[in-house]
Amino acid sequence: MIWSTLLSLAYLALHVTFIARALIRPHREPAARLAWILAILLLPVAGIVAYILLGETSVGRRRKRELRAIIGRLPRPHAWDGDFVLDPADRYAAPFNTACTINRLGTVRCERPDLMADSNAAIERIVADIDAARDSVHLCFYIWLADTNGLKVVEALCRAAQRGVAVRAMADGVGSGAIIASDHWQRMADAGVRLQIALKVGNPVLRVLFARIDLRNHRKIVVIDNAITYFGSQNAADPEFLIKRRFAPWVDVMMRFTGPVAQQHQYLFATDWMAEGGDDLSAYLQPGLPMPDGPVAVQVMGTGPTLEYPAMSEVFCSMLHVAACEVIATTPYFVPDDSLLADILAVARRGVPTTLILPARCDSWVVAASSRSFYADLLDAGVRLYEYRKGLLHAKTLTVDGEIALIGSANMDRRSFDLNFENNVLLRDRETTASLRVRQMEWLADSRSVTHAEVAGWGTSRRLLDNLVATVSPIL
């Protein structure tokens, strides 16, 4: 009897402890707290195990300390000094000033970028620039496959290293696990390419005791000779994406920039590289360089679970706040936090034409179900909702008023906002934004409109499943 009572008290204390942790954990939305409390109460054992595995957005205390130390000593090219980036009277100043606070990198002026025609064209251009590199090649991909495009990059890096170029390549330990374990990885090392694995998993049983395994480096960064950079949604892979071929082709967007923005991307690469034990890259970062007077204002931002607030979500919201004429967004994964959803609904309700394009078939049924749970509210608010039919639209883009644009690796979902390391670029230039908007219109032409009647016709079981998945999405 005594042992039974003691076990019951211990069981109760364990639940109270984890519920209290869910309540007091900082920087968490009320919806997430409630979802975790329900999970712990309704699934007593599984809920606690799930919280241990997924409840904390921690990459590990040691890594966080090391990363802060690296950021503290790395030079910041074109650092932000706290002054306004754009004229405060400029209606589009707010998103840039918000973005500047994330990494304290200033807005730079650059020449207009080249928008790559498609995924294959992006890889071909990257390979050509690597083949022309004279000093350094630095790149990081979340997914790097040993397919046609992935191996083109491998071969180009080997050629560059063999002719004396300093080549450093990094790939995520989960997203690129197959190529890391392959002969191609060793072949690059043998050719002189310096390699690092981002967020190496190691022993998964031991790792979950100190950090979450599913916190990943989702960035796509290419910097060549400290003067050329690529950014967007493109992985080092074929659009046929053989590991998930039934959703193919993957439709991506990539831009090629020259100028000081390359050094800002170099800064993000350096923080990731050095955090994984790579050599010091401070020599590549030169603060106080003169600012070219190009027509495009560009702001680099890198976010991740080491930040104490959803910085990327704040930039999205800031862009919506200044919209006056038009909003067009594409994302493969739409699971917004409360703030972003409220702002999307608000901008549509105040009469700004708002278009959202999602893939008709998503490679994650959980994300697809969560996304559908928002459809009725989006349509009721006046959002023009479309589903892309010619593959998986993987491009993450946002254009506002034909004036400013945001592209990069971050999706409009909680994982990108809270869990993954991401890199996006905010830019202002009518001509550049117009070229991206043309691409958005091409995707729109290959999409179908989602109507009120269609959503109203969904059965009760489908709506229950979608809403249930969306309710627990804050804990995933």
18-65 pLDDT, tens digit per residue, is 667 666 666 566 666 667 676 676 667 666 666 665 656 666 677 778
Residues 245 and 318 in one domain: no
Q: What is the pLDDT of residues 403-462, one digit of tens each?
A: 999 999 999 998 899 889 999 999 999 999 999 999 999 999 999 999 999 999 998 888
**Is residue 355 within 8 Å of residue 327, measured between CB atoms?**
yes
d(CA 369, CA 473): 10
What is the pairing mode between strands 334-335 and 250-251?
A: unpaired
Q: What are phi and psi of 321, to 5 degrees?
A: -65, -35
pLDDT value at position 305? Answer: 86
Residue 200: pLDDT band with limits 50, 70, 90: confident
pLDDT for the residue 23? 63
Helix (H) or strand (E) holding 206: helix 204-207
| Least confident span in 18-32, 265-279, 320-334, 413-427 | 18-32
- By C-alpha distance, which of 249, 235, 220 is closest to 408? 220
> Does residue 365 sit in the same domain as residue 389?
yes
- 377 occurs within a structural domain: yes
Q: Are 144 and 170 in contact (CB under 8 A)?
A: no
Asked, for residue 16, whether it belongs to a domain, the answer is: yes
Pairing, β 194-198 against β 166-172: parallel
Q: Looking at the structure, do residues 328 and 269 belong to the same domain, yes or no? A: no
User: Based on the domain organization, do 336 and 460 belong to the same domain?
Assistant: yes
- Asked if residue 397 belongs to a domain, the reply is yes
Query: pTM value?
Result: 0.90
427 vs 64: CA distance, rounded Å: 30
- Distance (Å, rounded) from C-alpha 86 to C-alpha 95? 10
* Rounded average pLDDT over 11-18: 65
- Tokens 């105040």 belong to residue: 350
SS3 196: strand
The string of DSSP letters for 133-166 reads -SSEEEEEES-B-SSHHHHHHHHHHHHHHHTT-E
Q: Considering only CA atoms, which of 406, 412, 396, 395 is closest in space to residue 429?
A: 406
Instruction: Kindly report the CATH number assigned to the domain that includes residue 187.
Output: 3.30.870.10
The contacts of residue 229 (CB under 8 Å, 6+ apart) are 221, 222, 223, 256, 257, 258, 261, 262, 265, 266
The DSSP code sequence of 58-92 is -S-HHHHHHHHHHHHHS--TTB--SS-SS-TTSTT
Same domain, 125 and 270: yes
Report how many domains make up the chain.
Answer: 3
Judge whether 413 lies within some domain.
yes
Q: Do 399 and 264 belong to one domain?
A: no
Strand, coil or helix: 450: coil
d(C-alpha 255, C-alpha 318), whole Å? 23
Q: Which domain holds residue 146?
A: 63-83+112-295
Peptide bond into 249 cis (omega under 30): yes
Contact 255, 116 (CB under 8 A): yes
Indicate if 226 and 335 belong to the same structural domain: no
